[in-house]
Amino acid sequence: MAAYAMNHGAKMMEDQVKSFMPGAAAGALNMFGSVKYYFTVNNTYVVHRLKMLLCPFIHKDWRRIVQNEGNNTGVDVVYAPPSMDKNAPDLYIPLMSFVTYILIVGYIKGASGRFNPDVITEVSTYCCLMQLVEICLMKLGLYLLNSQINWLDLVSFTGYKYVALVINTVVHLILGYIPYYVVLAYTGIATSFFTLNGLKGTVPEPNHDQRRFRNYMLLAYVSRFDF
C-alpha cells in the first residue's frame, strides 16, 4: 500500500512538472535516461571491461551490438547497454577510477606532509578541464569526418585512462621508479590500443575516402593523452 502511494505520488509530481515545464522536464528526463544507460553494468561486464583495458591485444571483435539501426527520419541508432554488450562504453569504471585516482593523489600529498583541502579540488578541476579539452578535440575531428557520436561516449573513452593512471601511481608508490616506467610504457600502449579500437567500433563507418583519415585522426588523438 505504501509503495503504491509513493508511486502514485511520484507519477502525479511528474505530471505536474511536465504540465508547467514540458520542455525542461522532457530534457531532464532524457538526460537522466542517457546517463543511466552508461551505468547499466553488472559484475561480468566490469570484469570483462577491465580485462579489455589491461590486455586489449587479445580482443578481436570491437563492434557494438545494435538494437535499432535507425533510419533517415531522424531516428538515431540504438546500441545495446553495457550489461548486454561488453563493447559498450560505460561511465561506472571511469567514475570509480577517477575518484580512486584523486584519493590516491590526496594520500600521497598527505604522506609527504603537503596535503591541504585545496589539493583535491585542484587535481579534480585540472583532470576535468583536460578531459574537456580532449572531448572538444575529438568532437572537432568527428565534425570534419561528418560523423556523429554521443558526447557521453567520448566522456567514457576519455575517462578510461584513469584506470591506467591509478595503476601507474600505485606502482610508483610501492615499487619505485624503474617498475613505474615499465608499467607506464605498457599501460600507455594498452590504453591507446583499447581507445583506438573502441572508438573505431563506436564511430559509424565513414566512406572509403575518409576511412584512412579517420584512422589517422583516432591514432593521433589517443597518442596525445596516453603518453
**CB-based contact 139:154 (threshold 8 Å):** yes
pLDDT digits (tens, 9 = 90+) for 91-142: 999 999 999 999 999 888 888 877 787 888 999 999 999 999 988 888 887 7
Asked, for residue 64, whether it belongs to a domain, the answer is no
pTM of the full predicted structure? 0.77
Rg (alpha carbons) of the chain, rounded to whole number: 21
Nearest to 90 by CA among 41, 43, 42, 50: 41
Report how far Cα 98 is from the mean position of its chain's Cα atoms: 11
Nearest to 87 by CA among 172, 225, 168, 202: 202
Predicted pLDDT of residue 25: 44
Asked, for residue 178, whether it belongs to a domain, the answer is yes
Predicted pLDDT of residue 27: 47
Asked, for residue 177, whether it belongs to a domain, the answer is yes
Given a cut of 70, the residues of the chain with pLDDT beneath it are 1-33, 69-76, 146, 203-227
Asked, for residue 115, whether it belongs to a domain, the answer is yes
Predicted pLDDT of residue 72: 52
Asked, for residue 166, whether it belongs to a domain, the answer is yes
Predicted pLDDT of residue 16: 47
Asked, for residue 29, whether it belongs to a domain, the answer is no
Asked, for residue 207, whether it belongs to a domain, the answer is yes
Predicted pLDDT of residue 35: 87
**CB-based contact 66:87 (threshold 8 Å):** no
The Cα–Cα gap between 95 and 101 comes to: 10
Q: How many domains does the chain have?
A: 1
Predicted pLDDT of residue 115: 75
Predicted pLDDT of residue 8: 46
Asked, for residue 114, whether it belongs to a domain, the answer is yes
Structural domain range at position 202: 89-223
